[in-house]
Amino acid sequence: MEVIILPTAEEASEVAARLVARQVREKPQSVLGLATGSTPCKLYDLLARMHRDGDLDFSKTTSFNLDEYVGLDPVHPASYHHFMEKNLFSLINIPQGHIHIPDGLAADVPAHCTAYEKAIREAGGIDLQILGLGSDGHLGFNEPGSSLASRTRIKTLTERTRSDNARFFADCGEVPHHVITMGLGTIMESRMCLLLAFGEGKAHAVAQSVEGPVTASVPGSLLQFHPHAKVLLDAGAASLLARADYYRWVYKNKPEWQTDL
């Protein structure tokens, strides 16, 4: 696990954008795993700007989103279909047929989850997975206690997660209780994981995930076992890390051949 601490969320997002852009340039047929929420918004804005400037082509790229609310129509303003269309897909040239997002209206949820896993395998697996981190350490919607080997499935949200996400809805009571989410086992099969976490509100979850024991009680801690995970933080999110100075030193003093970011 590489921990990269930058002064601001904007600077961390710029590093993330360069990593994603390098992946797509080096492998135009890349399969990207995408996250939603406020954390990756700046990243998506930067990727869209690169495309608009003629510097990044997504025409051969495929995407799989982490999750979606059960029961929300894709056009609902709080659905992740709507979020992705507004914040990324409508701004780049990824073909609609290459976009995959869990179907919150699926009539047979278990069958849909099985088909989603199959689609990821048939696409060749995820090359780069973008992740956010919940304030309780969840990844995707894998709440604390989720199986570390879990696959795409339906999950029941904790009240804490529903409360955290209420800002995207007109009323807290509108937040669904259930979601479809990629499992932790699915996420861990990605060739690279790129975790973004910003603000002091994420500091405790970051410290537990990066420096605490690996435990199902903190799903983010599983990334300690990933062979190619990068954790991008701003100063606030890194404020409780015991080894923050060391992480900054390592990033500042990388070998020259590693400093192309």
Query: Which of 68, 117, 143, 234 is the catalytic position?
Result: 143
Q: Is 234 a catalytic residue?
A: no
Q: Is 211 a catalytic residue?
A: no
The answer to whether residues 5 and 239 touch, using CB atoms and an 8 Å cutoff, is no
Distance separating alpha carbons of residues 205 and 239, to the nearest angstrom: 11
Measured over the CA atoms of residue 206, residue 238, residue 35 and residue 80, the dihedral's sign is: positive
Q: Is 73 a catalytic residue?
A: no
Query: Which of 81, 98, 138, 226 is the catalytic position?
Result: 138
Measured over the CA atoms of residue 247, residue 253, residue 256 and residue 260, the dihedral's sign is: positive
- For 140-203, give the secondary structure using H, E and C: CCECCCCCCCCCCEEEECCHHHHHHHHHHCCCHHHCCCEEEECCHHHHHCCCEEEEEECCHHHH
Query: Which of 67, 117, 189, 234 is the catalytic position?
Result: 67
Integer-rounded Cα Rg, in Å, for the chain is 17
Query: Which of 68, 127, 136, 189 is the catalytic position?
Result: 136
Helix axes 80-87, 41-52, angle to 10 degrees: 40
Distance separating alpha carbons of residues 126 and 194, to the nearest angstrom: 12
Distance separating alpha carbons of residues 166 and 140, to the nearest angstrom: 16
SS3 92: coil
Q: Is 138 a catalytic residue?
A: yes
The answer to whether residues 142 and 184 touch, using CB atoms and an 8 Å cutoff, is yes
- Which sequence positions are flagged as catalytic? 67, 136, 138, 143
